Structure 1
Amino acid sequence: MAAGYRFTDYIPPQDDKTGFESLLQIFMQLITITSGDVGEALSWLSSLDKQYNLTNNEYGIGNFIEDLKAKGYIDENEQQKGSFELTSKSEINLRRSALEEIFGKLKKSGKGNHTTPHTGQGDEASTDRREFQFGDTLEQIAMTDSIRNAQLNHGLGDFFLTENDLEVTEREHKSQTSTVLMIDISHSMILYGEDRITPAKKVAMALAELITQKYPKDTLDIIVFGNDAWQITIKDLPYLQVGPYHTNTVAGLELAMDILRKRKAANKQIFMITDGKPTCLKEGIRYYKNSFGLDRKVVNKTLTLAAQCRRIKIPITTFMIASDPYLKQFVDEFTKVNNGKAYYSSLKGLGHLIFEDYSRNRRKTF
């Protein structure tokens, strides 16, 4: 033993998770990939078990399925005998798992709101002081500072307070933020050997859980867009699938604008996750489609809506998960017209970018 040091045998850290907890973590990942198909997820889990020996003689996949039922994660499907479906407990677990996976390293804090750069009669005291003004409340008066001012101004012999002696604590205004998250579900989200929809779903679930937990006064609306656009609920996210669709960005933006017009929050914004160019418009009952290059007719309509959003102070942040130069050029033009922001992200960094942008926006009023 060297002086000042003591050496012992190295014992590698042990996985303290039970067999059920370890398998549950994998199962939840598979459920997201299979869009809520319990049977397919269990089949994949069995294949992984065969390849990587996830279970042992004491605890097998059959035990895991029984525990899933007993603990309330899955139920028998009443319409399809012999099959299973997710419960609300699983849906909540998926959102919390996504939040932990994507934002898990963030420092936890209490429930809050979104600060604005304005001061005055707000919700929460700040550290700033200023002179008393008409309309300030009694609770805002900083008594210690005010008494000190009176002593300095009038001396200790004949103590009295005047309005000029009073100091008050600034209060920060809080504002709600309304966000619409647009998710591209066109066919290209699963083309080229890359699953892009699963990370998008995870980000949406994590963002929904974050807002629910930390910013309960905020609103989050989620819409998907392919040939058309429609609104979905948070509950629908695990089951979201890509369709044989083109990319009707115009329909998505129109629906997002309609939703935000009804919101009374001071801050309004659109987050758009997409990997492709706009390729589709709906004209009456027919669709105008062109997947070859950037169609000027489709692009012009999309840029017109970007400008409309700018006029009504709705910034659009585009998270582009593709790297084609001509697509970047389009997104740059779209962003310039809207005066918004654009990120060219890998799938791995998508969640952190969205959280950083959301956090930054909550500190200002658009």
Structure 2
Amino acid sequence: MSAGFRFRDYVPEETTDKGFDSLFKIFMQLVTITSGDVGEALSWLNELDKQYGLTDDGYGMGNFIEDLKNKGYIDENPQEPGSFEITAKSEQKIRKSALEEIFGKLKKSGTGNHRTPHTGQGDEQSTDMREFRFGDSLDQISMTESIRNAQLNHGIGGGDDFMLTEGDLEVRENEHKTQTSTVLMIDISHSMILYGEDRITPAKKVAMALAELVKQKYPKDFLDVIVFGNDAWQIEVKELPYLQVGPYHTNTVAGLELALDLLRKRKTSNKQIFMITDGKPTCLKEAGGYYKNSFGLDRKVINKTLNLAAAARRLKVPITTFMIADDPYLKRFVEEFTEVNQGKAYYSSLKGLGHLIFEDYKKNRRKSL
């Protein structure tokens, strides 16, 4: 007689992390908004605790800070005794939190490359079948289909009568996969925090989520992140939580020049630029310094920007612009820019920005290897 299984109600164990977990979620949001400033994030958390009673006598803010240290999320700042800084563990946790917040749960998908509509020798099987051709590998042969063909073509024999010929063989098509090189451009001009609206924090979250997405689901892809204000420069993914807006104009030309330079070095088939901005180009770097004009659409600045859009088109690099503003004259500029590049443009709210970028990234299956 089998002993079988005995089922009973599952009662989860009490955990001392209950208070930590709820506070930690808020802390992760605050440390992103404060660009990695742990002291400011904890001050805000204290104020929220006073107003909403986030802690109790059993688990206080002091316990939370000690747990942050013990769990490896913050360290003492050697340059400023008595202050803290986030760790590499926190940086990764912030990226993962952004990914979950913006993109939701992701399903595992093979080796994680972008499929193309072309078939041939590749590394993922499709449902399409065809006859065996010289050069096909043995592991592509579908034995079930091939034996069935042999039986149909030569009859069902027994013992030594079974015959399998080359004409009976069928192979399963493999889909080509392709790598994608993406440059994500983030506008850090002063307008990204003007008019009482924080636009830089959602942009940072999108960048962190995209970086984590590429790492988890498309590990063979390349993602470079650059920021542009008066100038443009490349940043590492680990720097994203600390990203801040500066007292800058918008030098879109510098950003595009750097993006194209980075993509020229990549030996991949698919290349693209994603640009997150909330304003028009207003700045150029010249030999004598900077040329700036924030009033209207300056043709000197706009023409150089459009020239780069055309250069990207010649290099077969589509530019997708995510404009988080809806001024009519900005739309006219974006439409002209997009037409010259033959790219795409979205006029997005901050709330929908992440989903648009995610979907556009997934649909990049235009070119074959």
TM-score (norm 2): 0.92
Partner of 1:277: 280
Partner of 2:95: 95
1:120-156 per-residue CA deviation (whole Å, 9 max, x = no partner) reads 1111111110111121111111122222222322333
Partner of 1:6: none
CA distance in 1 between counterparts of 2:347 and 2:106 reads 23
From 251, 267, 270, the equivalent of 1:267 is: 270
Verify the 8 A CA contact 2:108 2:217 in the aligned structure 1.
no
Partner of 1:147: 147
| 1:34-53 equivalences in 2 (<5 Å) | 34-53=34-53
CA distance in 1 between counterparts of 2:79 and 2:147 reads 75
When the two chains are superposed, the root-mean-square deviation of aligned CA atoms in Å is 1.6
| 2:44 counterpart letter in structure 1 | W
1:87-115 per-residue CA deviation (whole Å, 9 max, x = no partner) reads 11111110111011111144454541111
Q: Is 1:364 matched up with 2:366?
A: yes
CA distance in 2 between counterparts of 1:106 and 1:154 reads 48
Partner of 1:190: 193
Q: Is 1:84 matched up with 2:84?
A: yes
Verify the 8 A CA contact 1:111 1:213 in the aligned structure 2.
no
CA distance in 2 between counterparts of 1:131 and 1:138 reads 13
Partner of 2:9: none
TM-score (norm 1): 0.93
Question: Partner of 2:279: helix, strand, or coil?
Answer: coil
| 1:126 counterpart letter in structure 2 | S
Q: Is 1:179 matched up with 2:192?
A: no
CA distance in 2 between counterparts of 1:253 and 1:67 reads 44
| 2:293 counterpart letter in structure 1 | N
Identity %: 80
From 299, 307, 310, the equivalent of 1:304 is: 307
CA distance in 1 between counterparts of 2:134 and 2:282 reads 58
| 1:174 counterpart letter in structure 2 | K
Question: Partner of 1:192: helix, strand, or coil?
Answer: helix
Partner of 2:117: 117
Verify the 8 A CA contact 1:180 1:256 in the aligned structure 2.
yes
Verify the 8 A CA contact 2:181 2:270 in the aligned structure 1.
yes
CA distance in 2 between counterparts of 1:261 and 1:304 reads 17
Q: Matched residue pairs, number?
A: 351
Partner of 2:10: none
Q: Is 1:59 matched up with 2:59?
A: yes
Question: Partner of 1:281: helix, strand, or coil?
Answer: strand
Partner of 1:8: none
Shift of 1:18: 0.9
| 1:268 counterpart letter in structure 2 | K
Instruction: Note the residue ranges of structure 1 that are not aligned, 5 or more in a row.
Output: 1-14
CA distance in 2 between counterparts of 1:93 and 1:145 reads 48
1:55-80 per-residue CA deviation (whole Å, 9 max, x = no partner) reads 11222112111111111111111111
CA distance in 1 between counterparts of 2:119 and 2:170 reads 15
1:212-237 per-residue CA deviation (whole Å, 9 max, x = no partner) reads 11111111100000000000001100
CA distance in 2 between counterparts of 1:159 and 1:337 reads 64
From 237, 241, 244, the equivalent of 2:244 is: 241
Verify the 8 A CA contact 2:189 2:248 in the aligned structure 1.
yes
Moved more, 110-119 or 265-274: 110-119
